[in-house]
């Protein structure tokens, strides 16, 4: 007869099976398969067999401009969106944090973009930025031409603006919650201790909300590198590849060019980049971040 | 910094529907240890917050030294506050916590170091300067909060129930330390508490508040020996003063007050003599508390009277019939207004004007 302990252990393993199975089928298998596909070079014409080339495909793809240029665009995109998104969200949260008449209305308005989707945001801005009928063209008094989205210099910043706008609601709610968690008596103590408003914000509030800033930065960087919808709807990577970010490049390589080998190599690279960035952020920022449970 | 007087002049503070302070006039003299005492919600903390500038009074004004500070920001009022929660900055070391007010005021590094060292030494924090508040015990945090206050050398200290989060033993210790600190610095202290033992042992004077209204200001001896009204009489003293209707001793329209230690069982003739039955005896070792139910055929209920007997006296047994006689002072209060009738005729003795018992 089995002991009670053995039965408990078996039951425990049994209960992890569904989650484990889902992980294996939807995460682990695709990951391994992607790495595996990266070892095979796909023939330039459909129907021909692909053949094993090992790591040589990794080294050729990763040093080629078809990978490096989109990587540069993605990095630029993240640099455009993450700091501004956090800063504007924090600014709005600070503004809405005060107890004023009708402040609830502003809180609702400020957080409303969380209810929009990438598609909705893209359509709104596509309409606004349309070079002939858009409101933006009317404001700057210059109709026709390529418009911002067709301009090599401004296309990526314009898409970044759409992303920042769409994520503002989330950022605002996150920052508002963080501000609400800062104990009022600490700020009062700082005020009596002679600290000006700026010093109170930078020396007391900011350190205390740093875990949230850190979280927002990590989530923002990952989301930034995974941007796809805005690009697909607004520019399809154009003009002339200036908004061709990494994920969009992977998509076109895989679905349009049907080059599964190259696409897989780039997908693996993107995965490793995100893992690495997250680790680096953890190790650098963790030393500067103050967590409340250290109180 | 020379200690400054802190004065509230007819300060009223009204929140949406509640009156937290009602025309409070009160002065802490330079270098004085003034305790604001009252039950929770009596407005004592509000008074402190108004002085600090954290709340704006609805009307009235605040004076620190010879300056009216109504339009002065908290940071420029030059007072230091110790919070009940200590309000230490959790992300800063003990040293940086203590330095914070000095850095805010751009005091030179050498001067800053000297003052931090002095403050740390006087509160025995030298070994803890590099720790974070989370690594400190409650008593140590309390001392850091005090160090952060004294390092400023402010015109006045405002303390909002600073000892209420400590355990009983530490509280007694810190009480002595605070008294010592006040003696050493000579700075004006406004100290808020609901604990009458703290108030009686620490205060030069005590201001007693109830429902936003000042009841009496006076030395601990004054408020104990000559309570201005029924509220003060019942609030000061532990166990509290016995208060019962004058009808029991043939005096209509008054409330009679006798402290538990001023009753004896049986014997002596006096103005107050009550027939009663022992309903509870508690022996605490150094004394006995005897609760007696007074026979009162003329009243709807029989009042309970508490008697405090020294340990040397053997306590009566339960259910025993006794005669209670007042051997000490008997207080008489107007049963309508609650005012102490003995003091009512004298100037400035009425409740609430704040000018009595200087």
Residue A10, both tokens: 């078996």
- Asked, for residue A170, whether it belongs to a domain, the answer is yes
The reply to whether residue A193 touches residue B152, judged by beta carbons under 8 angstroms, is yes
> In a mutagenesis test of the B interface, which of A183, A184, A192 is the best target, namely the one with the most B β-carbons within 10 Å?
A192
Structure tokens that stand for B270 in this block: 């006096």
Residue B286 C-alpha from the chain's centroid: 25
What is d(CA B199, CA B44) in angstroms, rounded to the nearest whole number?
13
Range of the domain at A70: 60-288
* A276, part of any domain: yes
ipTM of this predicted structure:
0.80
In a domain, A261, yes or no: yes
CB spacing of B100 vs A193 below 8 angstroms: yes
CB contact under 8 A, A188 and B133: no
| CB contact at 8 A, B122 and B113 | no
Judge whether A293 lies within some domain. Answer: no
What is the distance between the alpha carbons of residues B1 and B27, in angstroms, rounded to a whole number?
Answer: 19
Q: Does A102 map to a domain? A: yes
Please answer yes or no on whether B75 and A294 come within 8 Å at the CB atom. Answer: no
Instruction: Output DSSP code: residue A178.
Output: H
Min CA distance, B135 vs chain A (Å)? 8
Of B97, B145, B105, B126, whose CA–CA distance to B1 is shortest?
A: B105
Domain total of chain A: 1
Per residue in B339-356, pLDDT tens?
Answer: 988 887 654 434 444 333
Beta bridge partners of A52: A40
Encode chain A (295 residues) as per-residue pLDDT tens digits.
Answer: 567 888 999 999 999 999 999 999 999 999 999 998 888 888 777 777 788 888 888 888 888 888 899 999 999 999 999 999 999 999 999 988 887 778 888 888 888 888 888 888 888 888 888 877 777 777 777 776 777 777 788 888 888 998 999 899 999 999 999 999 999 999 999 999 988 889 999 999 999 998 889 889 888 999 999 999 888 888 888 788 888 899 999 999 888 887 888 889 999 999 999 999 888 887 877 666 665 544 4
Say yes or no: A182 contacts chain B, CB-CB below 8 A. no
More confident residue, B353 or B189: B189
Q: Are B31 and B188 in contact (CB under 8 A)?
A: yes
Residue A2 falls inside a structural domain? no
Q: Find the CATH number of the domain harbouring A247.
A: 1.10.3720.10
Between β-strands B331-334 and B188-193, what pairing exists: parallel, antiparallel or unpaired?
unpaired
Would you call the peptide bond into A160 cis, given omega within 30 degrees of 0 as the criterion? no
- pLDDT band with cut points at 50, 70 and 90 for residue B54: very high
Domain assignment of residue A66, yes or no: yes
Q: Indicate yes or no: CB of B52 within 8 angstroms of CB of A194.
A: no
Let me know if residue A28 belongs to a domain: no
Q: Which residue of A has its CA nearest to B88?
A: A186
């Amino acid at each position: 007869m089995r002991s009670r302990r053995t039965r408990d252990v078996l039951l425990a393993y049994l209960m992890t099976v569904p989650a484990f199975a889902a992980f294996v089928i939807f995460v682990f298998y695709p990951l391994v398969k992607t790495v595996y596909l990266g070892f095979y070079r796909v023939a330039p014409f459909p129907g021909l067999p692909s053949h094993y080339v090992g790591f040589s495909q990794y080294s050729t793809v990763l040093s080629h401009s078809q990978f490096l240029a989109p990587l540069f665009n993605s990095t630029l995109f993240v640099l455009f969106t993450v700091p501004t998104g956090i800063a504007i969200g924090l600014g709005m949260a600070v503004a809405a944090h005060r107890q004023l008449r009708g402040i609830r209305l502003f809180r609702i308005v400020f957080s409303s973009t969380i209810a929009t989707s990438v598609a909705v945001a893209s359509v709104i801005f596509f309409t606004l930025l349309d070079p002939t009928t858009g409101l933006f063209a009317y404001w700057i008094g210059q109709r026709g031409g390529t418009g911002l989205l067709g301009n090599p210099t401004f296309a990526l910043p314009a898409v970044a603006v759409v992303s920042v706008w769409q994520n503002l609601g989330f950022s605002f709610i996150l920052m508002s919650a963080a501000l609400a968690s800062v104990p009022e008596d600490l700020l009062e103590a700082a005020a009596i201790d002679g600290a000006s408003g700026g010093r109170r914000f930078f020396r007391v509030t900011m350190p205390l909300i740093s875990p949230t800033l850190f979280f927002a930065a990590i989530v923002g960087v990952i989301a930034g590198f995974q941007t796809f919808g805005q690009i697909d709807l607004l520019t399809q990577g154009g003009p002339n590849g200036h908004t061709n970010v990494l994920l969009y490049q992977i998509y076109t390589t895989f679905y349009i060019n049907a080059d599964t080998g190259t696409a897989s190599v780039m997908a693996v690279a993107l995965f490793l980049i995100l893992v690495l960035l997250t680790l680096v952020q953890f190790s650098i920022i963790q030393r500067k971040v103050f967590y409340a449970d250290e109180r | 910094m020379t200690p400054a007087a802190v004065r509230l002049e007819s300060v009223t503070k009204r929140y949406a529907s509640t009156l937290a302070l009602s025309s409070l006039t009160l002065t802490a003299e330079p270098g004085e240890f003034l305790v604001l005492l009252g039950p929770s919600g009596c407005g004592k903390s509000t008074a402190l917050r108004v002085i600090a500038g954290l709340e704006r009074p609805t009307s009235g004004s605040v004076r620190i030294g010879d300056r009216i500070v109504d339009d002065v920001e908290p940071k420029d009022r030059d007072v230091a506050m110790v919070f009940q929660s200590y309000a230490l900055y959790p992300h800063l070391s003990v040293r940086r916590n203590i330095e914070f007010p000095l850095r805010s005021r751009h005091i030179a590094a050498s001067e800053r170091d000297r003052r931090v060292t002095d403050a740390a030494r006087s509160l025995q924090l030298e070994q803890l300067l590099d720790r974070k508040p989370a690594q400190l015990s409650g008593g140590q945090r309390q001392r850091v909060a005090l160090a952060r206050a004294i390092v400023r050398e402010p015109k006045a200290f405002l303390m909002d129930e600073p000892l209420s989060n400590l355990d009983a033993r530490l509280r007694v210790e810190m009480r002595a330390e605070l008294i010592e600190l006040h003696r050493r610095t000579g700075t004006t202290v406004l100290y808020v508490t609901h604990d009458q033992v703290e108030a009686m042992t620490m205060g030069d004077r005590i201001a007693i508040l109830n429902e936003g209204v000042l009841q009496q200001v006076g030395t601990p001896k004054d408020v104990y020996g000559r309570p201005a009204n029924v509220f003060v009489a019942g609030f000061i003293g532990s166990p509290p003063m016995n208060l019962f209707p004058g009808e029991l001793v043939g005096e209509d329209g008054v409330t009679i007050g006798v402290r538990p230690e001023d009753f004896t069982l049986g014997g002596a003739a006096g103005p107050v003599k009550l027939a009663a039955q022992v309903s509870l005896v508690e022996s605490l070792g150094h004394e006995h508390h005897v609760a007696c139910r007074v026979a009162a055929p003329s009243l709807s209920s029989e009042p309970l009277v508490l008697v405090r007997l020294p340990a040397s006296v053997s306590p009566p047994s339960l259910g025993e019939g006794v005669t209670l006689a007042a051997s000490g002072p008997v207080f008489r209060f107007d049963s309508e207004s609650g005012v102490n009738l003995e003091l009512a005729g004298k100037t400035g003795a009425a409740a609430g004007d704040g000018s009595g018992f200087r």
